[in-house]
Every structure is written in structure tokens, then in C-alpha cells.
Amino acid sequence: MIRASRVAVTLLALGASSPALAQWTFNPTTGHWYRLTPSGLTWQQAEDWAVANGGHLITIDDGAEDAWAYSQYGTNGFVLWIGLYQLPGSPEPSGGWVWSSGYAVTYQNWAPSEPNNSANAEHVAQMVVSGNPNASFWNDYPSEPDPQFRGPGIVEREVDPAVPAVSTWGVVVMTLLTLSAGTAMLRGRRARVTS
């Protein structure tokens, strides 16, 4: 008989050995995991990619998280999508900004005179590297930018990527545990009948 705990540990180990896990970085201050989306995505494509990978574009709660994200992913002249977007019909330029994760906006790091809606269609935010090795700022930007300005986004997820998603591994583990328990019950029943 296969022990249920051995099956679960084996399946977790198989999931943890995935090369994609190496792309995630843990921030001990937030307790969350981060990585970049592929490059060349619109804001919505980057958010969709983040959701498909168990998170959202980054929700930046304070200056420490902003600085950490910049130190991990910022390079000179690089822009990165973040999870901040403006609700349709909000007062321009600074009304209605929300995080795609649904968390409250408690911190902002807009560049001077931003957001400004200068293109009359700037409804998403990006982290812009200022050239200063210790600072970045945010800029509002069109959600469907010119292809040359599409960048990667920073994904944030709360659950360790080594833990299999319930929709994928949970069904497998529960099935194996159920089969294992059923086998044990049948063996116990047979032992009583033959005694």
C-alpha cells in the first residue's frame, strides 16, 4: 500500500523541482513572491499573464516594497507595468486609481506632475527607472501603448509557487489519498471476513 503522506510529499517535490520556480524571488518583508512577465506585453496582457500564474501585477503598499521591487527588477531606462489602473469614467488625472489585486491604494510614488493623462488615454501605471540607482517613480501611460514601449510587468503572488495550485495538484492528491484510504478500508474488511 502506498502511504498517503509519501504520495503528497512526492508530488510536492515534483512540483518544487520545476525550472520555472527559479524565476520567482521571495521578499521576506512582504512574505510574497515576485517575478517578471515576458516582455512586449500591454498592461492587460501582463495582468492576464500574472493571473494565469497565480498572482496579479504588483501591488506596492509602501516605500520599502517599491524600493525592493526597483532593486530586484529596475535597470536604467527600463519601464515595468505595475498593478495600478484607473477606473473608467474617473475624474482626470488623479481620480479612481485602484490595484488590480483589489487591495486599497495606501501608497503612491508618482513622478512630479504625474499622473497627468497627457495622451488623454493614460489609464494604467508603470514603474520608470529614473537613472538614479536608488530611485524610481510611477507614470500613467496608455494601456495600449506603441509596441516599442511595451514592457514586462512585475508579478506578485501571495502563495509560494512551489505549492501546487488546488486546481492542478489538489485533485491529483485528493484522488490518490482517497484511493489509498479505500484500499486500506478494503484490506481491513477482508481481514475481518477471513477471520
pTM of the shown model: 0.74
The predicted-structure confidence for 123-167, as pLDDT tens digits, reads as follows 999 998 766 666 789 999 998 877 767 889 999 999 999 887 665
Angle between helices 4-16 and 171-194 (to 10 degrees): 160
Give me the chain's average pLDDT, please: 81
Best CA proximity match to 42, nearest among 130, 144, 135:
144
Cα 43-62-110 angle, rounded to 5 deg: 55
Domain boundaries for CATH 3.10.100.10 within the chain? 26-160
* Domain 26-160 top-level CATH class: alpha beta
174: its cell numbers: 485528493
Sequence-distant (≥ 6) Cβ neighbours of residue 145 within 8 angstroms = 42
* DSSP output for the chain: ---HHHHHHHHHHHHHT-GGGGG-EEETTTTEEEEEPPSSB-HHHHHHHHHHTTSEEPP--SHHHHHHHHHHH--TT-EEEEEEEE-TTPPTTTS-EEETT--------BPTT-S--TTS-EEEEEEEE-S-TT-EEEEEEESS--GGG-B-BEEEESS-TTSPPIIIIIHHHHHHHHHHHHHHHHHHHHHHHH-
- Model confidence pLDDT, tens digit, residues 29-46: 999 999 999 988 999 999
Is pLDDT above 90 for 99? yes
Confidence grade of residue 12 (pLDDT, cut at 50, 70, 90): very low
